[in-house]
Amino acid sequence: MEKFKIMIADDDPTVITYLSDILLEQGYDVVREDNGNDAVDTLFKEEFHLVIIDVAMPGMSGYAICKQLRENSQTKGLPVILLAVDVDSSSRIEAWRSGANIILNKPINKAEILLIVENFITQNYYPEYFLSNIKGFGGKIESFPVVDLLQFMEMGGKTGCIKLKSVLKTAVVYFDSGTIVHAESGRLKGSNAIYHIISWEEGLFTYAPNAQPEEVTIRETLSHLLLEGVRLMDEESRDNVAVDELTNALLKVGMAEDAERRIESISQKVTKEKKKIFEILVIDMWSEERKNILNFIIDGFVDYLGKEVGITKKHSAISSFARIDISPEVSLEIVVSSGKKKFNLLWQVFLEQANALILMIDPRLEDTKDDVDELTKRLKPIQDKLPVVVLSPVGEKAGILKLEKPKWFAVPEYYMVNIEEVLKYIFDYTESQFVEQVEMKR
């Protein structure tokens, strides 16, 4: 068999040595780089079969390297494995954006990395061998997250089923040549089961090759399922604050059998008894500091109100959220969302619920104009009803936002704006029970 050439790019010599020894033992040819810029130069000069890159590289990040590889016709099909410490939803989404095949958590498990490398190599260069030599495997969800597992099965063209088991819950996902065709989790079936499973953070999984489902319940692509799943998780974190607490309480007292029924019941109750809510949507195309922005606005509102209030905060893969209770009947919600093009479809979901928009833009950043143009299309039909505030390091004359009535605040950094002035503009623009309650509380 051909000797395959793999690059390992990491600025940690311990990691490079560890991975090199593992791969050299298996007969792979290994090239090592400890700087992002040097890695890119080498990748464009020499031919490789696979590359393993740390996301936090000096010179150029692993995400940036991956983007460059995908933009080059000669390297766009090169399998890319990213490595990161404490992989979470945000880093996985950034990996998808960059075009990486998979992102793995450090420290690296030897069996896991060898299995993944072997499958990528055989998938890309010996597809017939790959599809006809499917082997079973298993592991912990903590080291191989469900989202990565589903992507791995898709990229490998696997046929069979993944069985997952965690405390008081089980699930199964069936694949046909890498395509998800059926899933079950408790009483959930089809895409709803997938939306539930991708939130699992711990448990065990096993793969049974060639297993066939009794029915086909899923016809969506994996990318569609993941995007919709992330949207639903974000929506759940904002609208059903009580559900997580109820779930934990039920599990602690051993009420597993009717937990799902009770959770469903309380979720419906929370929705029906929802308060009158004033929602401010913040789309950040500037700083990438969602949590800090959220805290900054919360502090500004509390100062504006002049009183202590109850605050609930949640963070998901695509947004940071806070609910501030003004009275038993009325609340302020603040949603800070990434303004990356990956989530253009979700902007519309957020905008449909919003009462005001704070848009943070820096025209000097790459792709900002395209992102703003896309958002402008969605804003134009509702701009008369929605107060729009723009925070930017450049003045309104830059002409990047083609709307009629935005309120523009030019500041070197977002945290230098007078946030109370921003909120006052929004509330003066809006006539609602919420604003009346705010003024009564001041």
What pLDDT does residue 278 have?
82
- 228 class by beta-carbon count within 10 Å (0-12 exposed, 13-18 middle, 19+ buried): middle
Distance CA 272, CA 46 (A): 61
Question: In three state form, how does the secondary structure of 48-103 look?
Answer: CCEEEEECCCCCCCHHHHHHHHHHCCCCCCCCEEEEEECCCHHHHHHHHHHCCCEE
- Which positions ≥6 away from 423 have C-beta within 8 Å? 297, 300, 301, 304
Question: Looking at per-residue confidence, does 180 or 112 come out higher?
Answer: 180
Q: What is the pLDDT of residues 315-342, one digit of tens each?
A: 765 667 888 888 777 788 888 887 654 4
Half-sphere exposure of 428 (CA within 13 A, CB side): 8
15 has which bridge partners? none
Domains, the chain: 1-132 (3.40.50.2300), 134-233 (no CATH), 240-272 (no CATH), 275-441 (3.40.50.300)
The C-alpha angle 357, 362, 367, rounded to 5 degrees, equals: 100
What pLDDT does residue 306 have?
77
- Which positions ≥6 away from 67 have C-beta within 8 Å? 98, 99
What pLDDT does residue 261 have?
44
Distance CA 231, CA 38 (A): 38
Q: What is the pLDDT of residues 173-208, one digit of tens each?
A: 999 988 999 999 988 899 999 988 888 877 888 888
Which has the minimum average pLDDT: 59-68, 122-131, 278-287?
A: 122-131
Amino acid making up residue 210: N
Amino acid making up residue 376: T
Confidence of residue 241 (pLDDT cuts 50, 70, 90): very low
What pLDDT does residue 317 have?
54
What pLDDT does residue 39 have?
95
Q: What is the chain's alpha carbon radius of gyration, rounded to the nearest angstrom?
A: 24
Distance CA 172, CA 192 (A): 13
DSSP state of 338: E
Entry pTM: 0.43
The Cα-based distances of 183 to 160, 163, 214, 221 in angstroms read 12, 10, 11, 13
Q: What is the pLDDT of residues 363-418, one digit of tens each?
A: 777 667 777 777 777 777 776 778 889 998 887 765 667 777 788 998 888 888 99
Checking 196-200 for CB contacts under 8 A at 24+ apart, the result is 196/171, 197/146, 197/164, 197/171, 197/173, 198/146, 198/147, 198/150, 198/226, 198/229, 198/233, 199/229, 199/233, 200/141, 200/146, 200/164, 200/166, 200/169, 200/171
Q: Are 372 and 343 in contact (CB under 8 A)?
A: no
